[in-house]
Amino acid sequence: MKQLLKLHLIMLLLITSSCMAQTTIYMIGDSTMANKKNPETNPEHGWGQVLPNYVADGVTVDNRAVNGRSSRSFIGEGRWDSVLETLKAGDFVFIQFGHNDQKFKSPDRYTNPHVTYRHNLIKFVEETRAKGATPILFSSIVRRNFNEYGTLVDTHGEYPLEVRLVAMEYDVPFIDLQYFTEHLEESYGVENSKKLHLHFEPGEHPYYKEGKHDDTHLSKLGANEVAKLAVSELKRNVSSVEKYLK
């Protein structure tokens, strides 16, 4: 009898572990979320790259975000179709575009925020749900764009607004990373916020021998700060994903 009970417990643990292992968090977006090459030496990190540090054991983070992609080019290059091929019930899709949808000089990437961008977001949401998975929308993280008065100035225009509208209209969980990263940049201040990004003088870092001054992309510190903000808000507002996060 004891052996039978033990066998049932082992089977239950195996089933539970199997269910947890099958849960995947897909991430689709741009360079602020993407994995970077040479992570041991490259100072640049996407916040999706460090997210595995903040998820529960047995949960897979499949980061499909790619540098330079907009919602249009992510679909046009077949990247979204490749997600749909393996996406299944119980998975999650974290969706964050906007930085490159603004590129009006790039017709393969640009989207009107209230037209194509909106409909691309709806496409991601509806097709995710059709697979039995859960979409979660994120507004874009801010750029470090302080003016001469020390005021952080928005660079995203109406794209974050459209994310909010789609989230409201389609009842999609929404994490306002624009809002939270605004406060993050401001809390660090005009000079210290450079640490969240990529600011190196020539010869200061071997990876950027010629120097680099980039206020869009994230350092390892910046990526972890954004990931922690995202996880905190997910745990607070999205009960369905909470148990998969540390």
Dihedral angle over CA of 61, 162, 215, 43, nearest 10:
10
Q: Whose CA is closest to 243, among 26, 56, 106, 41?
A: 56
The rounded Cα 216 to chain-centroid distance in angstroms is: 14
Q: Are strands 60-63 and 212-214 parallel, antiparallel or unpaired?
A: unpaired
The residues that are catalytic are 31, 210, 217
Q: Is the dihedral of CA 132, 58, 30, 195 positive or negative?
A: positive
